[in-house]
A and B are shown apart, each in its own frame.
Chain A
């Protein structure tokens, strides 16, 4: 028997190697109440610094789009410097600043070389962008117009239309319902005053998590974290996002679009970060639709029938129950068949759960591939941001593999039957009439 056939019989990975893959996380709070997570990565002379705020679109209220707009305006003018001067300040030193804002998190990141002559001025500028944004009226007006253009752009992409409708249908009146970019009407109505108010309330020390990964000592990291966060008012942590209600019935939502394919999203609110059922749901989904070509959904939809280029399922764990999504895209005239296959695959999985063999294979992939999740500074930064933001325990990564290992077929069946209800799901279709 050839080697490749034999290998998978073995337990995927020894614990020794696992331990080698684990970064050592240092964590503390600054004097002003911001949580800091730091991993020393001395090999490359670079550093990633990320400040994460509980300031995503879940905080929009009636002003849909204000969270993302506020975040996007931070580097468009600060402490009297204009957007061009700020950009030059970073780019002349090879540093990059980036930002983003989704439903839960909003963040601002800096990547720089650790050479003091480069890092020092970039940090100074980064601090200004963070703590002294000006929200200049001209730049606001320009970015408002560009946001409206980007909303138009989304309307020519069936996948974007489907995603927007999916969240609306799943979340109704809940803050997760709206798209982080907002709508044409709400974005057009925003003012610099709205952005400034939002900034003042949410970009505060107690609402911040600082993530640092790079070639620095803990002492240097601590100094940088304080230096950045100390410029912010202490403020208050954002209030809790309300819980998500379960859907009460199945619903179909069809939008006509002049495309040759229909984009299909089926789902319901799923689970949250730190969920008690996280591991049985996660491992189960790996088998159902989360492991690429070898997943059941991909096998049924793509490999056996050639119906779609990508067919998948996944959970998006958020502060509150984020979506459980099944999706595919297919030629309009075979849409009904594809949807039937997708639904049948889910129902069969729910009824019977995975086989022992499938569970072993999934564990081998997840545990055996664990070091790949932490193989770069970028990836480690992402994990730190998640652990910090969602208040997961610091040993989350250390214990991840053993928790996956402990999941049983019975636990998966049980958790899926309690948490996933195909008779109460939304089906969003965007496409031609077929």
Chain B
């Protein structure tokens, strides 16, 4: 419970379907892609109803009457990209502490009450947001609202609970990062790729920062960010929007607004040449990560560019028929696994990411060359109409499939609002994707997939069995 985020090949919170990219695991064939917006008449998602409380809190409601359930999510504009050096991981630790009691409800009561009302609850922290949710039978909505409103302003943050909980978070870090060589490689890759952007630090925080965090730090962080004018309430399910608004007014309305100061821009400085690192860790397999600096919808100066990058990611990695699977995994048999991803809905400039593991018999250099050849091809040749059609067909269909989950629908609304866009962006998305031309895909490949803006990290496996001699360098995965 109370999970946070894994920074391994993606920045998305764990339990959650990612928006744009597919994720591949060894041994898994399924993929989750995603689109937004709608393709067919009759498949339109129902409209979002938007309300604003006087204290600055936004309330967004979408009806879905397929089952007598609802999900309520409270989204805060705070996450690891709001943090500064020395207190990395604080947003996530605070998320854990949100279950540790208020003046009204003792530690653990929140979870117990939700549970006894048949609910499922959790929370997640990412770079750009922290969110809390309860999925419940529809009549239980007021229970969720009362408890969420209470902990938005009245957290007690007891010292003794903090001392135990920060240990839990360190165990979480050990599990997710320290003992996972690919996560470890990703963490050091991000810390290298970014110089001045706050995306440099891990969501879960550096271990040393966790060890030196204090309850006073947490209290200050809570007071700074947890207020209705920094929050968005999203409800999707078998509900009446007007009634939800009345309940929101009742429970969240009395909360006092905060004094929210927007975070500093903290723009990334221009990268002036390729960066390259090795990460040595006990592992069986090498792992390659390559990332180019790219704009996102929120930062884009040219409106269509992020959508062209989404299409480009789909051309490379939108399924089994896409280029990486058909040319690197099947055709050349250079990669045992290969992926590309791009998240157009980050708050700040992001990375276009490629990652993979070579097949036995191919070196890491072979794999890197193969990725570079793919980039070269995108720059030199226009993608075919067939490939464009495939990407659009997938994103159109995914727009329908994603309506099968109320949680996902709420998540999408919450992300868009919290990164500074609007839920309306979801309705425009497919149209924007359809408007992308092969020339535009080529143009963004030329403009952004530049060697001087590239970071490369290579996981160099060290022996797992301490009795084994170390393997030679990173390019020696040729058996």
- The interface of chain A, by Cβ under 8 A from chain B, is 2-5, 7-8, 12-13, 17, 20-21, 41, 43-46, 72, 75, 83-84, 87-88, 91-96, 98-100, 111-113, 115, 118, 139, 142, 145-150, 152-158, 181, 256-261, 291-294, 298-299, 302-310, 329-331, 361, 364-372, 374-378
Contact = CB atoms under 8 A, between A and B. Distances in A.
Interface stretch (B125-133, B213-221, B341-349, B396-404): B396-404
Interface residues of B, number: 89
A259 B179 contact: yes
B397 A113 contact: yes
A299 to B, nearest CB: 8
B42 interface: yes
Nearest to A303: B108
A17 B168 CA distance: 38
B40 to A, nearest CB: 7
Interface in B137-156: 137, 139-140, 142-143, 146-147
Contacts of A256: 466
B120 to A, nearest CB: 6
B117 A372 contact: no
Given A150-B26, A375-B69, A308 B40 contact: no
12 contacts: A2-B146, A12-B137, A21-B68, A113-B400, A153-B284, A257-B464, A299-B108, A329-B171, A365-B119, A366-B118, A372-B135, A375-B67
Contact of A5 (B113, B115, B175, B326): B113
Interface stretch (B77-85, B272-280, B387-395, B410-418): B387-395
A45 B43 contact: yes
A367 B136 CA distance: 11
B431 interface: no
Contacts of B321: 84, 87-88, 91-92
A72 B27 CA distance: 9
B400 A13 contact: no
B401 A46 contact: yes
B167 A306 contact: yes
Given A91-B318, A306-B164, A376-B405, 20 more contacts: A4-B143, A7-B116, A8-B117, A12-B137, A13-B137, A44-B66, A91-B319, A93-B393, A149-B359, A260-B179, A293-B2, A293-B111, A294-B108, A304-B164, A306-B171, A329-B174, A364-B118, A368-B116, A371-B137, A378-B404
Given A309-B175, A377-B404, A293 B108 contact: yes
Contact of B389 (A21, A92, A150, A306): A92
Contact of B180 (A148, A157, A293): A157
Given A142-B330, A364-B117, A370-B118, A307 B171 contact: yes
Interface in B398-442: 398, 400-401, 403-406
Given A83-B330, A92-B393, A306 B117 contact: no
A298 B115 CA distance: 14
A292 B337 CA distance: 34
Contact of B118 (A145, A299, A367): A367
B377 to A, nearest CB: 17
B282 interface: yes
A160 B451 CA distance: 37
B1 interface: yes
Contacts of B40: 45, 113, 115
Contacts of B169: 309
A291 B111 CA distance: 10
Contacts of A113: 40, 43, 397, 400
Contacts of A305: 164
Contacts of B360: 145, 148-149
B99 interface: yes
Which 6 pairs across A and B sit closest by C-beta, in order of nearness? A368-B118, A94-B397, A306-B164, A8-B116, A306-B167, A87-B320
A83 B398 contact: no
A100 B27 CA distance: 9
B1 A292 contact: yes
Contacts of A94: 393-394, 396-398
Interface in B341-369: 357, 359-360
B361 to A, nearest CB: 8
A88 B139 CA distance: 45
Contacts of A293: 1-2, 99, 108, 111
Contacts of B107: 303
Interface in B306-338: 318-322, 325-326, 329-330, 333, 336-337
A429 to B, nearest CB: 14
B403 A44 contact: yes
B30 interface: yes
Nearest to B161: A303
Interface of B: 1-2, 26-27, 29-31, 40, 42-43, 66-69, 99, 104-105, 107-108, 111-113, 115-120, 135-137, 139-140, 142-143, 146-147, 163-172, 174-175, 178-181, 282-285, 318-322, 325-326, 329-330, 333, 336-337, 357, 359-360, 386, 389-390, 393-394, 396-398, 400-401, 403-406, 461, 464, 466
A87 B359 contact: no
A98 B29 contact: yes
B157 to A, nearest CB: 16
B147 A4 contact: yes
Given A17-B139, A149-B336, A294 B67 contact: no
A365 B113 CA distance: 10
B116 A364 contact: yes
A13 B118 CA distance: 8
Contacts of B140: 7, 368
Nearest to B283: A156
A290 to B, nearest CB: 11
B186 to A, nearest CB: 14
A91 B336 CA distance: 21
Contact of B359 (A45, A145, A257, A371): A145
Contacts of B336: 145-146, 149-150
B282 A309 contact: no
Contacts of A307: 167, 171
Nearest to A312: B1
Nearest to A378: B404
Contacts of B178: 259-261
Contacts of B394: 91, 94
Contacts of B320: 75, 83-84, 87, 91
A369 B67 contact: no
Contacts of A12: 116-118, 137
Nearest to B320: A87
Contacts of A153: 26, 284-285, 357
A331 B67 contact: no
A234 B320 CA distance: 31
A44 B43 contact: yes
Nearest to A14: B139
A155 B463 CA distance: 11
B257 to A, nearest CB: 23
Contacts of A111: 401
A377 B66 CA distance: 10
Contact of B117 (A88, A299, A368): A368
Contact of A375 (B167, B325, B406): B406
Given A91-B390, A306-B165, A329 B175 contact: yes
Contact of B285 (A156, A259, A299, A368): A156
A138 B119 CA distance: 50
Contacts of A2: 104, 146
B415 to A, nearest CB: 20
A112 B170 CA distance: 43
Contacts of A302: 168
Nearest to A286: B115
A155 B283 CA distance: 8
A369 B120 contact: yes
A205 to B, nearest CB: 24
